[in-house]
Chains A and B, each alone.
Chain A
Amino acid sequence: MSRARFALSTLAGPWLLLPALGIEIATFLVRGMPWRGEGMWTVDWFAISLYLVGPLAAGAAAVDASRLSRPGNLHLVVGVPRSWRVYARAAAWSAIPLMVLHLVTIVVALLVGDVRQPGAGWLMMSVAAVVQCFAILWFVALGSAIGRFVNPLLAGLAGAAAGYVLNYLVSDALDGEPRFRLLALGAATVTLVGRGYNPGYLVGQLAVLGITSALFVVVAMRVRSGVRLPSAAGAVAAAISVVMIAFAPAVLPDDRRIADPRPPGHCLGEGPEICFYYEHRRYAELIEPRIRTLTDAALEKGYPAFVPERIMEVSHGYRPDPAEARPLWLPSQVYEEGRYTLEDAAYDLLLPAHCEFLNGPALTPEGYDEVFFSLLGTWLEIAGAKLVDAPVEHRTLTPAEVSRALDGLAACEVRK
C-alpha cells in the first residue's frame, strides 16, 4: 500500500490511467461496435486506442524519468546500486496499469461480443493482445529513456512526439506494403473473417518489443559537469535498440495476417441454404429474412434463375466456386449500423465479384451496367420493392432473359 501511495503521490504515469480509460471506452463504443462477435477483429480493433495511449504513455514516462533525474534527486538515481531500478520502477507504474486496462478492455469486448469459436484461435489472439501490451511497455520505456536526459517539460513533449511519430514510422499506418513493422498492431476497421495471425510475426514483435524495452530502461546515465549524458554502456544499449528496430524487417516475416481458407459453417434453411461464419451468426436474423423475401418472390413469380442452391458468406480467405454457391459479402453498414435492405441483399447476390473487370484496372464490358441494373431492378420489382437512383436506364427482364444474363455474369460476360 505504501508503494502504491508513494507512486500515486510522486509519479505522473499512474494517473494516465484516467484518460486512458476514456480513450478505451471511446474506442469501445465508436462506430456501433462492429467488431462484436469476431475474436481477431476485436483484438485488432483495440490497437486503435494505442495511437493515443502510446504517445501519452511515452510523454508521462518521460516526465517521470526527468523528474527523477533533477539535481536535488539525482543522488537517488546515480548514487545508488543498480540505478536503472528507479527508472524501471517508475516505468512499471506507468506501464502496468495501462497494460492491465488494455487487456481488461479486450476481455470485456470479447465477452460483450459473445466470442466463442474465434477462427484465429484463442492462443494467437492472446499473443496478439500481449503484443499490444508489450507495445505499451515499449512506449513507456522509450519515454523513460528520453526523459532522463532533459527537463520535465521538454521530456514530456519529446516523449509524446517521439511516440506519435514512431507510431506511424514503425507501423503500417502510412504504408500497406507487406513488411515486418514493430508497431503494426492491427487497428483493424474492417472484418477480419478469413484471416489468421502469423505466429512468426507476433513472436518477432514480442521479442523485439521486449528486448528493446529492456534496453531502453537500462540506459544508464552519467553526469559530466552537471550535464546528464548516457553512459557508454547506455549509448550502446540505445544503439542496439535502434539497430534491432531498423533491421528486424530483414529477418522477420512480412505478413502479420495469413489467409484462412475455412468456409462458413453456420448454415440455415434450404432453397437456398444460407451459410454464415459462426462469428457472424448474430447477423443472420437481419440478413436471412431479406434474402428469403427475394428468393421466395423469385420462385413465386417464376424467376427460379435468381435462386441459387446455396449462398455462402465470403471472407478474406474464402470465396465459393460460382458454380456451386452464390457469394455473400456483408457490407460495412451491417456491422456498424445493423442495416441491410432488400436492395443490399439483391445487389450483393447479383454482383459478379469474382470477375476480373471488377477487381482490376480493366473496364467493365460494354452493356454491363445496363444488364446488371436490369437484373437488380427486376428482382426488386418482383419482390415488391423498387430500384432507386440507378445510374443507367434499365428494364424489367423476362425469366429467360434473367437466366441468360445470370449465366453470362457467372462467366464474366454480358449476355443480353
Chain B
Amino acid sequence: MNAGRLVLRDLTKAYGNAFTLGPLSLTLTEGVTCLVGPNGAGKSTLFRVAAKVDRPTSGSITVENGAGSATLGYLPQEPLLPPSATCEDFLYHVAWLHRVPRRQRKDAVSSALAAVGLTDRRATRIRKLSGGMRRRLGIAHAIVHDPAIVLLDEPTVGLDPVQRVSLRKTIDTVSRNRVVLVSTHLVEDIRGLADRVIILNNGGVVYDGDISTLEKRAAPGAPGDTDLERAIASLMGETS
C-alpha cells in the first residue's frame, strides 16, 4: 500500500467566541507526525475535524492518495470500547462498519490484532484487558480497515512507562507505509516516535519541523531538563 497524504487547506473550526482553531494549512505525509500543545491548544478539535466527527467552520481537509485505500482510521482520546465484547468480535464489527468485504474480514481482524500484539487475546473480553492492551486494541480498531491515514489522539495517556514503550513500538509498526498523526503531551513520545513535530498553541501552528531543528529553538531560560523540553516550553510561551 502506498501512503496517502492528509491535506488541510485554510482549515478553521470556531466554537462561538470562545475558541478558534486555525486557519491551518498543512500536508501530512508518510511516517509519524506528533502533534504537541498545551491543553486547549486545539489538538483534539483538529483530530475530530480530520476524522469527520465534527465539521470545519471553513476550509477543507482531504485525504489524497496515489493508489490503494484512501480511508482514514481514528482513535479518539477516550474511545468507548464495548466491555462485554471480545476483541475479535469488536474488530469484526468495526471492519463491517468500514465496509471491509466479508471474505477479507477474518484476515483484516487477524492482521490488526497481530499489528498491536493482541493475537493471543482475540477471544478475551475487553473488560479483562489491561489499560495498555485496551490502548492497543484501540489502535487495532483504527487500522482494521487498513487505512492510509491513522489519527491517534493521546494514545499513551494513563499508561505506565513499560506500557508506553510497548505502545510506541506498536505505533512504529503501524506507521509503516501510512500517515500517522499522534497527539501527545509527553516529550518521550515525541523523541521515541516522531519523524515530524507540529506544535499547536492557541489554535495556531507555532512550529512544524523535525526534532533536531526543534531542539535548536530551546530558549536558555526555559523550563525543562533537555533541549527538546525547553524548546517545546519556549514555543508554548512558558518561559520562566
Contacts and interface: CB of A to CB of B under 8 A. Distances in A.
Interface of A: 2-3, 5-6, 9-10, 70-76, 78-82, 85-86, 222-226
Interface in B25-68: 48, 51-55
B51 A75 contact: yes
A222 B80 contact: no
Contact of A2 (B16, B76, B84, B88): B88
Given A9-B84, A71-B78, A79 B72 contact: yes
Contacts of B92: 2-3, 6
B103 interface: no
A75 B74 contact: yes
Interface string B5-41: 0000000000110000000000000000000000000
29 contacts: A2-B92, A3-B93, A5-B85, A5-B86, A5-B89, A6-B89, A6-B90, A6-B93, A9-B82, A9-B84, A9-B86, A9-B89, A9-B125, A10-B82, A70-B80, A71-B76, A71-B80, A73-B80, A74-B76, A75-B52, A75-B53, A75-B74, A79-B53, A80-B98, A81-B98, A223-B54, A225-B15, A225-B54, A226-B54
A10 B78 CA distance: 18
A86 B15 CA distance: 28
B79 interface: yes
Q: Can you list the 10 inter-chain pairs with the closest CB atoms, starting with the nearest? A: A72-B80, A9-B84, A6-B89, A10-B82, A73-B80, A9-B85, A80-B97, A79-B52, A75-B74, A72-B79
Interface in B64-110: 72, 74, 76, 78-80, 82, 84-86, 88-90, 92-94, 97-99
A74 B53 contact: yes
Contacts of B97: 76, 80, 85-86
A74 B80 CA distance: 9
Nearest to B79: A72
Given A79-B52, A222-B55, A223-B53, 14 more contacts: A2-B89, A3-B93, A5-B86, A9-B89, A10-B82, A10-B93, A72-B78, A74-B53, A75-B51, A76-B94, A82-B99, A85-B97, A224-B55, A225-B15
Contacts of B16: 225
Given A6-B85, A225-B54, A79 B15 contact: no
Contacts of B76: 71-72, 74-75
Nearest to A223: B54
A346 B55 CA distance: 79
Nearest to B75: A75
Nearest to A6: B89
- Which secondary structure dominates chain A's binding surface? mixed
Contacts of B80: 70-73
Centre residue among B84, B86, B93 by max chain A CB count within 10 A: B93
Contacts, number: 69
Contacts of A79: 51-53, 72, 74
Contacts of A225: 15-16, 54
Given A73-B80, A225-B54, A81 B99 contact: yes
B121 to A, nearest CB: 16
A66 B98 CA distance: 20
A10 B74 CA distance: 21
A81 B96 CA distance: 10
A76 B86 CA distance: 17
Interface in B220-235: none
B137 to A, nearest CB: 13
Centre residue among A72, A73, A223, A225 by max chain B CB count within 10 A: A225
Contacts of A5: 85-86, 89
A222 B53 CA distance: 8
Contacts of B54: 223-226
Contacts of A72: 76, 78-80
A5 B78 CA distance: 24
Nearest to A1: B89
B79 A78 contact: no
Nearest to A11: B82
Contacts of A75: 51-53, 74, 76
Nearest to B14: A225
Given A3-B92, A72-B76, A86-B97, A78 B84 contact: no
Nearest to B145: A80
Nearest to B74: A75
Contacts of A222: 55
Centre residue among A3, A10, A75, A226 by max chain B CB count within 10 A: A75
A82 B16 CA distance: 30
B83 to A, nearest CB: 8
Contacts of B98: 80-81
A3 B15 CA distance: 39
Given A72-B79, A85-B97, A225-B15, A10 B84 contact: yes
A79 B93 CA distance: 14
Nearest to B90: A6
Nearest to A4: B89
Contacts of B48: 223
Contacts of A3: 92-93
Contacts of B53: 74-75, 78-79, 223
Nearest to A8: B84
A9 B78 CA distance: 20
